[in-house]
Amino acid sequence: MNLPLESQSMSDLVKEPRIFSNDSGVVIIESKTKNRIIDILKEGEKHASQIKEELGKAKSTTSVHLSDLKDLGVIDVKEDSEDERKKIFYLSSQLLGKSEHPQDEHYHDILDNLKDSSGKRYEFLKGLFHLLRHGLDSFGLDVHPALKEIGRDAGRAIGEDMSVNNRDELFREISDFWESTGLGKMKVKEHKELIVRECFDCCEMPKIGHTLCSLDEGMLEGVIEAALNEKVEGVEEECHGSGADHCMFEIKWE
C-alpha cells in the first residue's frame, strides 16, 4: 500500500512520524515544521499571519507548508467572515497514532499468557486482546489516539442507555457496568479518581514503561458525556503497563 507522504528536507524530519486520518484515508506527516503547525492549530483555528508568528519562520516557508498540509487533507482553509482578504486555517483530520521504534521484547510474554489460558474462555479472549494491542506496538505502530477515539464511541453508545440524574448515580452505573462485563472492579473517589483492579485492558500485561488503557480513558469520557451531557477528560495516571498493581484514571471535569 502506498501511503501519501509529504516531501521535506532530511533536517526537518521528526523521529516518530504522526499518522492522521482524513476523508480520503491515512496521511503520514514526517516534517517537524508541519507537525508544529498542526500543534498550533490544535489550539484552535488561526490566520496565516498568526501561524507564521508562532512558528517563527518566513512567510514564504509558512505558506509552502500550509499549502502542502491543505493538499494532503490534514488542514483546510476558509474565508474570515469579518475580513474576506484574510484566510483562516483549521484542522480537518484526526490524529490516529504515530510510528515508533518497534517494541517486541514483551511480545513473547503475552504469547505465553495466551498459551496458559487454554480452556479458559475469559482469560483467552483477554490474552488475544492484549496480543492484538501489543502486536501493533511490535510492528512500530502506536495507535493510542485511535484507541481512545474508538473508546469514546463505545462509551457514548453505552452511556446513551444509562438513565442517571447526578454524578453519584452515574458512577454507580459505571462501576456496575465495569464489573458485570468483566472490564474491572472500580472504586470511585470524589467523582474524579477511579481505581480499577483486575482491568481487562492491562492486567497481566508486562510493565512496559507507560500506561496502556487508552480505550478505557475514551470509554469513560464517552459514557460521562452521553449520560450526563458533560465534557470531561479521562487520563490514566497509573497502570499495570507503568508498573502499578491497578489502573487509576483521573477525571477532569470542565
**Dist CA 76 CA 136 (whole Å):** 30
Contact status: 19 vs Zn ion (CB under 5 A): no
Residue 214 CB, nearest approach to Zn ion (Å):
9
Q: Which residues contact 137 (CB under 8 A, 6 or more apart)?
A: 100, 102, 103, 104, 208
Residue range at the interface with Zn ion (CB under 5 A); choices 4-12, 37-45, 63-71, 235-243: 235-243
Least distance (Å) from Zn ion to the CB of residue 236? Answer: 6
Nearer to Zn ion, 8 or 103 (CB): 103
Is the distance from CB of 247 to CB of 196 less than 8 angstroms? yes
In the structure grid, which three cell numbers stand for residue 120, read together? Answer: 479458559
Nearer to Zn ion, 34 or 144 (CB): 144
- Least Å distance, CB 58 to Zn ion, is 45
Residues in region 159-198 near Zn ion by CB under 5 A: none
Cα–Cα distance, 158 to 149 (Å, whole number): 14
Which residue number is nearest to Zn ion in terms of Cβ?
Answer: 239
From the list 5-13, 54-62, 63-71, 207-215, the region that binds Zn ion by CB under 5 A is: 207-215
CA-to-CA dists, residue 118 to 62, 125, 129, 134, angstroms: 57, 10, 15, 20
By CB under 5 A, name the one of 51, 136, 170, 202 that touches Zn ion: 202
**Smaller CB separation from Zn ion, 146 or 247:** 247
CB of 146 vs Zn ion, minimal distance in Å? 17
| Residue choice 41, 208, 213, 248 for contact with Zn ion (CB under 5 A) | 213
78 backbone dihedrals φ, ψ, rounded to 5°: -145, 165
Using CA of residue 174, residue 177, residue 181, residue 186, what is the dihedral sign?
positive
- Name the one range near Zn ion by CB under 5 A: 125-133, 163-171, 181-189, 238-246: 238-246
- CA–CA separation, 28 vs 45, rounded Å? 21
Among 96, 136, 158, 239, binds Zn ion (CB under 5 A): 239
Smallest separation, CB 213 to Zn ion (Å): 4
- Please give the Cα distance from 213 to 211 (Å, whole number): 6
d(CA 168, CA 21): 37
Pick from 219, 232, 247, 251 the residue near Zn ion by CB under 5 A: 247
Cα separation of 50 and 73, whole Å?
21
Nearest CB to Zn ion, comparing residues 91 and 194 = 194
The residues binding Zn ion (CB under 5 A) are 202, 213, 239, 247
